[in-house]
Structure 1
């Protein structure tokens, strides 16, 4: 169950999301959407022959784009009348290739809370872990604004 933003404490471990499978269909959809159809992502035969991974890998930005949805499994706005808004990213690092068929999940920790005129800004340190691998796919600080909606 997602924790209310109002109850979070700096330094709190927010937990882990469910595992999400990054299959070839998802990679192909992302390639079509972003127009990034580089062979290392979409050409299974060429990847078997030429890629050091032996199969297609997901775009780094695909793994990154999954983080907000996975984060919202862990946290939620404090009540009706508020919205969580993606405010930005800091210190994004792509550390390990996500291969077609891998499962990833989010691990998150609240680093800081800052009051702004537009709402409360949360800086959340995130890692996208790959099932059965030591190194995470990526690490990043997600900036999430909890903003009050106009009534």
Structure 2
């Protein structure tokens, strides 16, 4: 078994593949969906029209996929993905985002985060990729989203 070093920017390569575990449940209720719709200006009825959605096949409104995606950063902070010696954490982008199942309003989601890669960029900078897998709480057999997020860490 590979020995793990203290979790710091200069030891990130030793931690590639590390599973940081699963977050606490994050409630995705109608008020949160409505707030996201307002700030994103995506007010499609399936997200915000409770009465109309009640008559649709799912019987309820669903969260925006991008709302679920936005919760990955909170998950990474909760699970300690960013080393304490990082003086700055910059969002560097996304790779391979897939929304696999709807998230019904009122669901709690949990997100599993793994360190997929770490690439030193010089001058105390390291680019990391995190594999994020979101599930409706209690259904860890069926992901609702998978996404690879990229961050540039500064030492």
Q: Give TM-score scaled by structure 2 length.
A: 0.86
State how far apart, in whole Å, the 2-side matches of 1:88 and 1:109 are. Answer: 16
Report what 2:3 is aligned to.
none
Report what 1:107 is aligned to.
112
* 1:86-105 mapped onto 2 (5 Å cutoff): 86-105=91-110
Q: CA deviation at 1:132?
A: 2.5
Would you say 1:44 and 2:50 are equivalent positions?
yes
Q: CA deviation at 1:95?
A: 0.4
Root-mean-square deviation (Å) = 1.7
State how far apart, in whole Å, the 1-side matches of 2:17 and 2:89 are. Answer: 20
Can you give the 5+ residue segments of structure 2 that lack an aligned partner in the other structure? 1-5
Name the count of aligned residue pairs.
Answer: 144
Would you say 1:147 and 2:154 are equivalent positions?
yes
* Structure 2 residue corresponding to 1:17, chosen from 23, 29, 32: 23
Q: Give TM-score scaled by structure 1 length.
A: 0.88
Can you give the 5+ residue segments of structure 1 that lack an aligned partner in the other structure? none
* Partner-residue secondary structure (3-state), 1:137: strand
State how far apart, in whole Å, the 2-side matches of 1:69 and 1:123 are. Answer: 15
| Structure 1 ranges of 4+ moved more than 3 A | 3-8
